[in-house]
């Protein structure tokens, strides 16, 4: 049955289908993969891009916001210097893996190869009927990396995967962190005004400690659709740190299933929303077993006519006793025309748990401003210090000082250009 | 140095007048104590001098070295040498104390047309000043006033004062929340700044602080006016007899 039959396709929807038709001959994949792609394209055709009527897309009406597929910037994307000196770097340019290394104990396989031999077909299943990002990515994915981090590996320097794109780019990253492995992985999204989908699957095995940084710093007209799917094992620790400082239309989904007892998940998010950008971070988190903890802290700075969104949904499964989950979303609104929408959602099916959430939207604290000015710091400088401090507090939680410094520099650049 | 003439002020946006025709003159080199019962307008006066926008001056004038400061924002006043040691210093998460000190010192130098400090000079200056106030240098790596005890906050205020070398120092109830040892350290810090070209305005409830920072003049503030002025013996009189007879005498 197709209840949407006869619905007018938007220009972007038509362009998406055309993009698929134009590319399909060159896209890698065995028949299973090709079947998954067709399924995704059919779903996109029948359902269309999600609108505000789809609950998980309520604040990001993709049908309305994605007017056209960005044409991309002139020329070829350029690789940039690694965020942290000494990092192992793997590169992707315009959606194609172009090499690098991930350090000792990490086996790297190209996703293109896994699409060709069909071993990646089962990873191309949609999350549900509202999974537009998964569908777009499945239809168009060309390449990416599969990182297999061996049990007990302790990476001494971060692994940076650079996703450089000036044209359209649809990639996958699959990370399997073995038992007791420790690593920091940086997803670095750079380049100009590309149309991008980037989907990551991350499995954190028992006792592993993984930090994943998603640093999105694309051009001011870029469309970036990101999705992380993570599974956390017993006594494991996962920190997901999302920093959005670029893009025109950005949605980063973070879907985490906490599946092993004694584990801890942290989400830290920074959204710097300026100009007429629309930046959405949407999290779903399931605490599925007893004795697990999570904290989510999102800090946003909104200027100009920017619109920021955070949706955080925490589900505590029946029997997942002693779950401790705390979520906070704080926004500094620096302009009259800026906007931030936040929706926390708790669904708790166990009785012995601690869950809480809070959200604030405010301007710079006048008393703090007065205190700094009373020491001779001019108003503009004092405001800058306070805005930076509001965000830097989250960055400084990271243990790697070089990483803290690099992200603060990124923050400073954004503030100088926007605030 | 400071001349306040017939000052009237209220909380911005309200009709509540707190300062009602206040007159006060403080000369360079002078230490002036302002005393008065709760609600007499002491803290309000300190905020107005520093330029806090929650208060609105409706009448009168504040001259600092002969120049009106009413149109200046707090940063301009500070760079001209006015310093308020806060009764309740603000906790500012995310701003490291050292970073704040560096930005403040360099902002004031810039306003005076001087070069920025070299990092090595800055660190040495801060270390020396911190040691004299028995402040652990490592504490200054923490966010500004966050997690500092009451005494540590007050000492940090005096540290800022020593580093910024203001010309008019206003101490708003700096003694509140200090034990006797901390009080001595703070008082020594203030006394070390006494000089013929600098004035100090000490706002306090109690004589206690004035045993350590001995004032040249004492002024009693009541209902937004100075109702009596005298020398240090006035403070001792108040300590013994309370404010009742002074208020009665003025009425």
pLDDT number for residue A6: 56
Interatomic CA distance for residues A59 and A66, integer angstroms? 13
Q: Which two tokens stand for residue B106?
A: 């360099």
Inter-residue contact B221 to B41 (CB < 8 Å): yes
Q: Taking CB atoms and an 8 Å cutoff, what residues of chain A touch B46? A: none
Q: Report whether pLDDT(A2) > 60.
A: no
ipTM for this prediction: 0.95
Best of A301, A375, A393, A394 to substitute, by most chain B Cβ atoms within 10 angstroms, is: A375
Q: Report whether pLDDT(A375) > 90.
A: yes
Q: Which residue has the tokens 């939680």?
A: A397
Lowest mean pLDDT among A27-36, A185-194, A392-401, B238-247: B238-247
Inter-residue contact A378 to A347 (CB < 8 Å): no
pLDDT number for residue B94: 86
Q: Taking CB atoms and an 8 Å cutoff, what residues of chain A touch B53? A: 366, 370
Alpha-carbon separation of residue A128 from A16, A53, A125, A310 (angstroms): 20, 15, 9, 20
Test A389 with B94 for CB contact under 8 angstroms: yes
Inter-residue contact A284 to A319 (CB < 8 Å): no
Q: Report whether pLDDT(B251) > 80.
A: no
Mean pLDDT, residues A329-341 taken together: 95
Interatomic CA distance for residues A59 and A358, integer angstroms? 19
Chain A residue with minimal CA distance to B111? Answer: A376
Q: Which two tokens stand for residue A358?
A: 């809070």
Mean pLDDT, residues A373-393 taken together: 93
Test A370 with B164 for CB contact under 8 angstroms: no
Name every residue in A having a CB less than 8 A away from some CB of B: 366-368, 370-379, 381-382, 385-386, 388-393, 396
Give per-residue pLDDT as tens, B111-127: 889 999 999 999 999 99
Mean pLDDT, residues A165-170 taken together: 92
Interatomic CA distance for residues A247 and A219, integer angstroms? 5
Q: Report whether pLDDT(B30) > 70.
A: yes
- What is the SS3 assignment for B164-185? HCCCEEEEECCCCCCCHHHHHH
Test A374 with B74 for CB contact under 8 angstroms: yes
Q: Which two tokens stand for residue A307?
A: 């619109």
Interatomic CA distance for residues A355 and B86, integer angstroms? 38
Residue A1 confidence class, pLDDT cut points 50, 70, 90: very low
Inter-residue contact A162 to A91 (CB < 8 Å): yes
Alpha-carbon separation of residue B69 from B65, B75, B105 (angstroms): 10, 11, 21
Q: Average model confidence (pLDDT) for chain B?
A: 93
Give per-residue pLDDT as tens, A399-418: 999 999 999 999 999 998 88
Interatomic CA distance for residues A186 and A174, integer angstroms? 13
Q: Report whether pLDDT(B182) > 90.
A: no
Q: Report whether pLDDT(B241) > 90.
A: no
User: Which residues are registered as beta bridge partners of B169?
Assistant: B83, B200
Inter-residue contact A168 to A141 (CB < 8 Å): no
Interatomic CA distance for residues A400 and A396, integer angstroms? 9
3-state secondary structure of B49: helix
Test A381 with B107 for CB contact under 8 angstroms: yes
Please provide residue B238's backbone torsions phi and psi, each rounded to the nearest 5 degrees.
-65, -40
Q: Which two tokens stand for residue A359?
A: 């959200």
pLDDT number for residue B124: 96
Q: Report whether pLDDT(A239) > 80.
A: yes
This prediction's pTM: 0.85
Neighbouring residues of B88: CB distance < 8 A, sequence distance ≥ 6: none
Mean pLDDT, residues B49-62 taken together: 95
Residues of chain A with pLDDT > 90, as a percent, come to 89
Show which of residues 57-76 on chain B sit within 8 Å of chain A, judged by CB atoms: 73-75
3-state secondary structure of A349: coil
Chain A residue with minimal CA distance to B165? Answer: A375
Compute the nearest-CA separation of B22 from chain A (Å).
23
Compute the nearest-CA separation of B239 from chain A (Å).
32
Comparison of pLDDT for A133 and A380, the residue scoring more: A133
pLDDT number for residue A419: 73
Best of A268, A368, A376, A387 to substitute, by most chain B Cβ atoms within 10 angstroms, is: A376
Q: Which two tokens stand for residue A265?
A: 């998940």
Interatomic CA distance for residues A312 and A315, integer angstroms? 10
What is the bridge-based pairing of β-strands A223-232 and A195-204?
A: parallel
Q: Report whether pLDDT(A66) > 80.
A: yes
The secondary element (H helix, E strand) that includes residue B157 is helix B150-164
Candidates A30, A44, A64; CA nearest to A307 is A64
The answer to whether residue B113 neighbours chain A at the CB level (below 8 Å) is no
Q: Average model confidence (pLDDT) for chain A?
A: 94
The answer to whether residue B190 neighbours chain A at the CB level (below 8 Å) is no
């Amino acid at each position: 049955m197709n209840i949407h039959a006869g619905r007018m396709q938007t220009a972007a929807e038509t362009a998406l289908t055309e993009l698929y038709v134009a590319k399909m001959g060159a896209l890698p994949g065995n028949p299973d993969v090709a079947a998954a792609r067709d399924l995704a394209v059919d779903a996109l055709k029948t359902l269309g891009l999600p609108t505000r009527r789809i609950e998980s897309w309520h604040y990001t009406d993709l049908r309305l916001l994605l007017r056209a597929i960005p044409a991309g910037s002139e020329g070829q994307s350029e690789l940039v210097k690694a965020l942290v000196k000494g990092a192992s770097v793997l590169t992707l340019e315009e959606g194609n893996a172009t090499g690098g290394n991930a350090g000792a104990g990490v086996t790297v396989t190209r996703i293109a190869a896994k699409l060709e031999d069909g071993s990646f077909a089962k990873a191309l299943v949609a999350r549900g009927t509202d999974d537009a990002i998964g569908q777009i990515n499945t239809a168009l994915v060309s390449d990416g990396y599969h990182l297999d981090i061996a049990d007990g590996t302790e990476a001494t320097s971060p692994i940076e995967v650079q996703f450089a794109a000036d044209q359209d780019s649809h990639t996958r990253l699959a990370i399997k962190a073995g038992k007791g492995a420790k690593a920091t992985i940086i997803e670095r999204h750079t380049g100009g005004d590309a149309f991008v989908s980037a989907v990551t699957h991350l499995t954190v095995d028992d006792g592993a400690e993984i930090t994943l940084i998603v640093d999105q710093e694309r051009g001011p007209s870029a469309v970036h659709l990101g999705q992380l799917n993570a599974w956390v094992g017993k006594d494991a620790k996962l920190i997901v740190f999302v920093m959005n400082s670029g893009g025109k239309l950005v949605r980063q989904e973070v879907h985490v299933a906490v599946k092993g007892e004694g584990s801890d998940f942290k989400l830290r998010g920074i959204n710097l929303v300026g100009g007429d950008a629309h930046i959405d971070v949407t999290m779903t988190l399931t605490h599925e077993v007893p004795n697990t903890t999570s904290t989510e802290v999102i800090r946003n700075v909104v200027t100009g006519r920017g619109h920021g969104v955070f949706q955080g949904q925490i589900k505590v499964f029946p029997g997942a006793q002693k779950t401790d989950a705390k979520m906070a979303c704080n926004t500094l609104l620096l302009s009259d025309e800026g906007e931030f929408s936040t929706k926390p959602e708790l669904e708790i099916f166990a009785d012995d748990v601690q869950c809480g959430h809070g959200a604030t939207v405010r301007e710079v604290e006048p008393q703090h401003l007065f205190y700094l000015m009373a020491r001779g710091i001019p108003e503009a400088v004092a405001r800058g210090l306070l805005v930076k401090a509001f965000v830097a507090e989250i960055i400084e939680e990271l243990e790697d000082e070089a990483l803290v410094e690099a992200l603060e520099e990124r923050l400073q650049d954004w503030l100088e250009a926007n605030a | 140095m400071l001349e306040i003439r017939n000052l009237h002020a209220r909380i911005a946006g309200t009709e509540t007048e707190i300062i009602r025709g206040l007159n006060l003159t403080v000369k360079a080199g002078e230490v002036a104590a302002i005393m008065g019962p709760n609600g007499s307008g002491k803290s309000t006066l300190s905020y107005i001098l520093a330029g806090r926008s929650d208060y609105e001056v409706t009448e009168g004038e504040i001259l600092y070295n002969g120049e009106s400061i009413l149109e200046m924002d707090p940063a301009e006043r500070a760079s001209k040498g006015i310093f308020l040691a806060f009764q309740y210093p603000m906790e500012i998460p995310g701003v490291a104390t050292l970073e704040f000190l560096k930005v403040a010192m360099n902002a004031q130098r810039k306003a005076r047309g001087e070069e920025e400090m070299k990092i090595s000079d800055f660190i040495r200056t801060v270390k020396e000043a911190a040691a004299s106030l028995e402040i652990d240098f490592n504490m200054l790596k923490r966010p500004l006033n966050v997690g500092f005890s009451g005494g540590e906050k007050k000492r940090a205020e005096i540290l800022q004062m020593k580093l910024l070398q203001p010309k008019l120092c206003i101490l708003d109830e700096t003694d509140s929340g200090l034990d006797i040892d901390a009080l001595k350290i703070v008082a020594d810090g203030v006394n070390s700044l006494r000089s013929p070209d600098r004035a100090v305005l000490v706002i306090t409830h109690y004589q206690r602080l004035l045993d350590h920072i001995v004032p040249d003049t004492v002024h009693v503030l009541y209902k937004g006016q100075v109702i009596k002025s005298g020398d240090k013996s006035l403070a001792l009189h108040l300590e013994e007899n309370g404010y009742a007879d002074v208020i009665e005498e003025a009425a």
